Chain A
Amino acid sequence: MAETSTDQSSSAGIDLSQFYQVFFEEAGENLQNMEQLLLELDIEAADDEELNAIFRCAHSIKGGAATFGFTDVAELTHQMETLLDKLRRHELVPTPPMVDVLLQSGDALKAMLARHQGSGGDTVDTTELLFSIRALVEGGSAPVAAAAALPAAAPAPARTVATGMTQAPTSGDRTVELRVGPLTDPSQADNLVDLFKEIADLGSIEPLADDPALEGVRRFKVKTATDESELLDLFTFHVAREQVSFVALGGAPAAEPAADPGYGFFDDAPGQPAAQQAAPAENKGYGFFDDAPGSPASATQAPTGPTEPPAAPKPVVPAVAAVKPVAKADKPAAGLEASTIRVSVEKVDQLINLVGELVITQAMLAQNSRGLDPVVYQQLVSGLTDLDRNTRDLQEAVMSIRMIPMSTVFSRFPRMLRDLANKLGKKVELVTQGEATELDKGLVEKITDPLTHLVRNSCDHGIEMPDDRLARGKPEVGTITLAASHQGGSIVIEVRDDGRGLSREKLLKKAREKGIDAPDSLTDSEVWALIFAPGFSTADEVTDVSGRGVGMDVVKRNITSLGGTVEIDSAEGYGMRVAVRLPLTLAIMDGMSVGVGEEVYILPLSSVVESFQVTPEMVKTVGGSGRVVEVREEYMPVIELEKVFTVPRFDWEHTSGIMVVVEAESGRVALLVDELLGQQQVVVKNLETNYRKVSDVSGATIMGDGRVALILDVGSLVRRTRH
């Protein structure tokens, strides 16, 4: 497949495009990393290690981008790197505008990378960003105020690290001839002309007539005070270093021949032809330290090695010949990451499914072996015990592959809130709690959008303007808290803010305007739930931040479709709290099996509070049909599963005598069952996809004996009793 391709990305017969995917992934990670580091950066007391880490992100992206030919990405990261380099060397002090511009650059890079990956989008114009960064870089060596005033300042004079090696004068305007080429596409050189336009202090550039003797070489007359290595640095992202040369105007090459000599050695390397010594090392892109171990010079002196002096000006051929077009493009991807591997989610899911089947088989074996005499079958029984334990461990380990910490979701919010608050002129602080809480990857992906919406809402509608807050005696800076925690078999993610909260009157008024039936008798939580009605918006004016009020109903629908629930609490003037409750994973759960007549039902173990034998006097009838049971001076509704599922009874003498108390959505009910059968892990099979939706049932599972048992939806049972 990977024949030697002839497009731009091929080099020396190697198709560089085969490395793009890795580069994109890596660059994406670096960008994310950089953003997080920037957001966490304490501007007043920036830590060296942090600055280095940020620098390294930009540096790494630049290296890859330049190598793989993404010049726009390389150019921007180069500028970022220049700024970051000055920061980490303490030549500049970090300022909020720097963080801003670096964050914006990160966004621009994301867009560029997405474009290169073929996801479309407009070309990203980085002119302004480049200007701003340069101005900031400049700002350090000039008086501080000058930074803003001189947006087009050139980077050159500020450079303190001299790049030696060139013979060119480093001060005062001079006029030289710039030769670029040979180029396959002569218009490449136009970028250099643009560069001079872009950077005012760089000098002037005028095209010269092409020299027929130099095919494909563009000539320019350049008047500049910037030294040549600086210029080369600037040019390097448009044309290769080797293709650029400076020549005394109208004369012979000043510094080196126009064509790349290919190689040369460090100044006084032994055995070098005299002419070679003049070539500045930078232009080759590599060099050797003269007397260093292993250098070609020292190799020639070694008695053992073949004593062939490296003949200097011979044009270089070997690389092309040595590189064989390789037909296996998929090979190099293997074994790359030392500590992590990337695996497709499908593979993991397949594994989970197989483990699920194994769990069922194990449960079946366990059940069938129950009747065996442990004395006779001692080895078999102990083997089965081991199998039981190993299966459980295996299952846990496999499930953990899919679990990722909530921090992967939370990490996007600091940036989003920062931008949003700036836009709205609000002051908001984000507090995150329980970032280490793990959640199934599939759920994480699906919960991100609804959470984003909730956080936006809090910032836009909840948090007041700083002045309003002060007037109300609140701190100027509003707080939005994102908290994740495990509660039983669920994860609860809360979005809290200390803003203005929901207004009961306003919501009721609005609902009535929209034609929604909203009597005054509604409880608070019913009123809050109104915001989930389609087309409901609580802000007086539609803003471009929280959209047009089409969001909350979608949020609710998305969460419900994941088997989750949303609850709202609010106190007007003090803020609100939205709690999203989701199942931890959709695939496997711990269940308690209960028997009713001939049927077996599974209760999620996490929702089971207690169970007890019931006596008739404990159950009281209220309001006609409702029955309640008294447990430790607390009354809770009784649900007879037998009636809910109309279980056929053959034994008329039998009465259900066991209550199982279950809890969900902050409500408790007592379920009346015949017997408790035991606890086991069950593999949840979706009933909707395999059969159809059944109310009060969240799924089904296959029992050890091969029978199907329904898994009860405790939340729905609890809701039953509320109506």
Chain B
Amino acid sequence: MHSILAVDDSASMRQMVSFTLKSAGYNVVEAVDGQDAWEKAGSRSFDLVLTDQNMPRMDGISLTKKLRESPQFKTTPILILTTESSDQMKQAGRAAGATGWLVKPFDPNKLIEVIQKVIR
């Protein structure tokens, strides 16, 4: 069973994402912000990291950068959930080493669709 680290500071989004993923048969670990995710990622590995961009303490871009620096997450797909699909965001995401992005709001279908592209 694939494990996904779902990071979002919004409880409702986290709940929705987590429920969607669990329903699709994934194992989900939730984190409330980048810092929390970073701590959780320290103890184990994941098959995919799904992170919100704008969060207190540590945002999605910084989290991605940090994860990429650790050998364990060198090749792990990291998707950034963002409300802005601007070039700026994309450049930042690319530079940080993210695998891709998904624009919010998204439909649970779409989430599964994207995830199935990167892990199978």
Contact = CB atoms under 8 A, between A and B. Distances in A.
B83 A59 contact: yes
Interface in A46-60: 53, 55-56, 59-60
Nearest to A229: B85
A337 interface: yes
A66 B13 CA distance: 11
B61 interface: no
Contact of B10 (A26, A298, A338): A26
A647 interface: no
B98 A64 contact: no
Nearest to B28: A332
Contacts of B94: 289, 292
Contacts of A53: 56
B109 A67 contact: no
A20 to B, nearest CB: 8
Contacts of A67: 12-13, 16, 104-106
A618 to B, nearest CB: 66
B105 A286 contact: no
B87 A263 contact: no
A319 interface: yes
Contacts of B23: 13-14, 322-324, 326
B114 to A, nearest CB: 5
A240 B25 CA distance: 27
B18 interface: yes
A22 interface: yes
A12 B108 contact: yes
Contacts of B25: 322
A162 interface: yes
Given A59-B54, A59-B83, A285 B110 contact: yes
Nearest to A22: B12
Given A286-B101, A294-B118, A19 B113 contact: no
B75 interface: yes
B89 to A, nearest CB: 9
A293 interface: yes
B15 A323 contact: no
Contacts of A20: 12
Contact of B110 (A319, A326, A338): A319
Which interface residue of A22, A74, A298, A323 has the most chain B CB atoms within 10 A? Answer: A323
A286 B78 contact: no
A533 interface: no
Contacts of A59: 54, 83
A282 interface: yes
Interface string B22-62: 11110000111000100000000000100010111000000
A336 B90 CA distance: 30
Interface string A11-39: 11110101110110110000000000000
A285 B111 CA distance: 10
Contacts, number: 184
Interface string B82-99: 010111101001100111
Contacts of B76: 293-294
Given A163-B85, A299-B118, A285 B109 contact: no
B83 to A, nearest CB: 6
Given A163-B87, A282-B85, A319-B109, A333 B12 contact: no
Name B's interface SS: mixed
B104 to A, nearest CB: 5
B74 A287 contact: no
A435 B84 CA distance: 39
A103 B94 CA distance: 37
Given A67-B106, A165-B87, A323 B13 contact: no
A165 B25 CA distance: 35
Given A19-B19, A56-B54, A318-B113, A293 B77 contact: yes
B27 to A, nearest CB: 14
B116 to A, nearest CB: 6
A654 B76 CA distance: 88
Contacts of A298: 75
Given A19-B12, A63-B104, A161-B86, A286 B110 contact: yes
Nearest to B81: A63
A11 B118 contact: no
A262 B75 CA distance: 25
A256 to B, nearest CB: 15
A293 B12 contact: no
A26 B104 CA distance: 17
A287 B36 contact: no
A410 interface: no
A140 interface: no
Contacts of A333: 15
A456 interface: no
Contacts of B24: 319, 322-323
Nearest to A24: B12
A67 B65 CA distance: 27
Nearest to B85: A282
A62 interface: yes
Interface of B: 9-16, 18-20, 22-25, 30-32, 36, 48, 52, 54-56, 68, 74-79, 83, 85-88, 90, 93-94, 97-114, 116-118, 120
Which 6 pairs between the two chains have the least Cβ-Cβ distance? A294-B77, A66-B105, A288-B100, A23-B12, A319-B112, A319-B109
24 contacts: A11-B107, A12-B107, A14-B19, A14-B108, A19-B15, A19-B19, A26-B10, A53-B56, A59-B83, A60-B54, A67-B106, A74-B105, A240-B107, A286-B106, A293-B97, A294-B77, A294-B99, A294-B118, A295-B99, A295-B118, A322-B23, A322-B112, A332-B22, A336-B14
Interface of A: 11-14, 16, 18-20, 22-23, 25-26, 53, 55-56, 59-60, 62-64, 66-68, 74, 161-165, 240-241, 262-263, 281-282, 285-289, 292-296, 298-299, 305-306, 310, 316, 318-320, 322-324, 326, 332-333, 336-339
Given A289-B100, A292-B98, 10 more contacts: A11-B107, A26-B10, A26-B12, A56-B9, A63-B83, A68-B12, A263-B113, A286-B106, A289-B90, A339-B32
